[in-house]
Amino acid sequence: MCPFHSLYIRSSLNGLRRTKPASVAAATAPLLHRFGSRRGLIIQTLAEMVKLERLTDLDSGIVELKLDRPEAKNAIGNAMLQGLQNALKTIGNDSSTNVVVISSSVPRVFCAGADLKERKLMTTSEVRQFVNSLRSTFLSLEFLSVPTIAVIEGAALGGGLELALSCDLRVCGEESTFSLPETGLAIIPGAGGSQRLPRIVGRSAAKELIFTGRRINGKEALSMGLVSYCVPSGEAHAKAMHVARDINQKGPLAIRMAKQAIDTGTELAMSSALKVEEECYEQLLNTEDRLEGLAAFAEKRKPKYLGK
């Protein structure tokens, strides 16, 4: 087996989860469990800066992660970063999650990036530690075994855009704005933006955006492939939920294996990538879900997948 394969592919369907960075196991805040009719609040962390909700009934399997720090336009400081780490750890340990939707509770902003007021008070060593932690947290988000969808209404700037780039899909409103303005502060994107952006939009387009730090709107983001969908302002969440529900109806084990096959294979030569695809396919052959899919097709009914 190619040495890269073992990083991602597990031999048992009991844990179809990509290997995560060690830093994801940061100290966690106490968890508050509650459940409602359609939505059940799983956790609230650190003055409710990050909220995690499990949807129920027909939307069971979809989890929403909401940023809620209105006084700072969802700028990420140490407390909010810990909230993100707590939320990602909870999601990663929850095998019933099929899709994660990341959005903002603050009108006209997704995330304004790092909290520069807080950073101004940090020492050089503290800045380095914070940026390294932010980078590893976004890597943990990218490495979640289930699909992630960022819902962007308003500004996604700096670290906020890097957060969105760590998701599998991005849905935005037309009046959203995107920018990596770090070069204007005499630094570079440090939480993965300099690496993820060129992989998504291409090297030349990424260089132009990072070198100039200019802002683009939702329509331009769509034209360059930065987002998957651009819809009228105010409709991004509804569109993202439509996509999440479509994914949620598919075989959950197959979705996880598809994500692993794509993410692992695109970093390899074709011969090795096809081996990854074979290994992922093999893990699905003896599942109950595969047999259910075949039976439902033959009987012309909707399949009932159990993730087994």
Question: Is the confidence at residue 125, as pLDDT, over 80?
Answer: yes
Mean pLDDT of 144-168: 97
Which pLDDT value is given to residue 39? 54
Helix (H/G/I), strand (E/B), else coil: 94: coil
Which pLDDT value is given to residue 180? 97
Which pLDDT value is given to residue 13? 41
Active site residues: 114, 159, 162, 182
Whether 50 contacts 88, CB under 8 Å? no
pLDDT digits (tens, 9 = 90+) for 37-63: 345 555 444 448 999 999 999 999 999
pLDDT digits (tens, 9 = 90+) for 60-105: 999 999 999 999 999 999 999 999 999 999 999 999 999 999 999 9
Residue type at position 207: K
Residue type at position 66: K
Which pLDDT value is given to residue 288? 87
In angstroms, the CA 67 to CA 145 distance is: 21
Tokens of 203: 């090297």
Residue 26's pLDDT band, with cuts at 50, 70 and 90, is very low
Question: Is the confidence at residue 274, as pLDDT, over 90?
Answer: yes
Question: Is the confidence at residue 19, as pLDDT, over 50?
Answer: no
Question: Is the confidence at residue 30, as pLDDT, over 50?
Answer: no
Q: Is the pTM of this model over 0.95?
A: no
pLDDT digits (tens, 9 = 90+) for 207-226: 999 999 999 999 999 999 99
pLDDT digits (tens, 9 = 90+) for 226-269: 999 999 999 999 999 999 999 999 999 999 999 999 999 998 99
